[in-house]
């Protein structure tokens, strides 16, 4: 019985030590015609393969950035940055606008009907429309 209790406590401590990852959502301007997008559609904008929407990025240091790129593009944020550098160098694209945090993403997306960004689901409000959830 003592071993069972110790194992349960050990499992509980391990569970609490694992950081909870927030759900990340892709957002657009509420006036945008799109009401939903697939993972691949969202990835196209953030990988420079489509210019129908202008991507708004978060800083390299933002945990939501790493999570977004992992879940939506199946790439590390550093791999995506290298891809963008190549596109910019060859004149095929310009780097996504980078803003400070989720609040700044919402502000940028709310101000531009052709912008797309990503934020934590908990930060969603009426200023943006969720088109994809990367849970």
Residue 134 near residue 72, CB atoms below 8 Å = yes
Q: How far is CA 103 from CA 12, 108, 119, 122, in A?
A: 34, 9, 8, 11
Q: Mean pLDDT over residues 2-29, rounded?
A: 60
E strand spans, 1-135: 24-28, 54-57, 97-98, 115-120, 129-134
Arch. (CATH architecture) of 22-134 = 3-Layer(aba) Sandwich (3.40)
- In this predicted structure, the answer to whether residue 11 has a pLDDT above a threshold of 50 is no
pLDDT band at 18 (very low <50, low <70, confident <90, very high): very low
Residue 100 near residue 2, CB atoms below 8 Å = no
Domain ranges of the chain: 22-134
pTM of the model: 0.83
Which has more confidence, 26 or 12? 26
pLDDT band at 4 (very low <50, low <70, confident <90, very high): very low
Q: What is the pLDDT of residues 68-123, one digit of tens each?
A: 999 999 999 999 999 999 999 999 989 999 999 999 999 999 999 999 999 999 99
Helix, strand, coil percentages for the chain (3-state, nearest 5)? 45, 15, 40
């Amino acid at each position: 019985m003592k071993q069972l209790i110790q194992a349960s406590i050990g499992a509980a401590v391990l569970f609490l030590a694992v950081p909870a990852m927030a759900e990340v959502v892709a957002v657009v301007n509420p006036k945008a015609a799109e009401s939903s997008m697939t993972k691949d559609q969202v990835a196209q904008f953030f990988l420079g393969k489509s210019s129908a929407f202008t991507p708004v990025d978060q800083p390299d240091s933002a945990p939501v950035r790493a999570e977004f790129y992992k879940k939506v593009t199946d790439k590390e944020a550093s791999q995506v940055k290298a891809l963008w550098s190549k596109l910019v160098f060859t004149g095929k694209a310009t780097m996504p606008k980078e803003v400070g945090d989720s609040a700044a993403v919402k502000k940028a997306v709310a101000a531009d009907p052709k912008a797309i960004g990503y934020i934590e689901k908990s930060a969603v409000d009426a200023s943006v429309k969720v088109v994809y959830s990367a849970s």
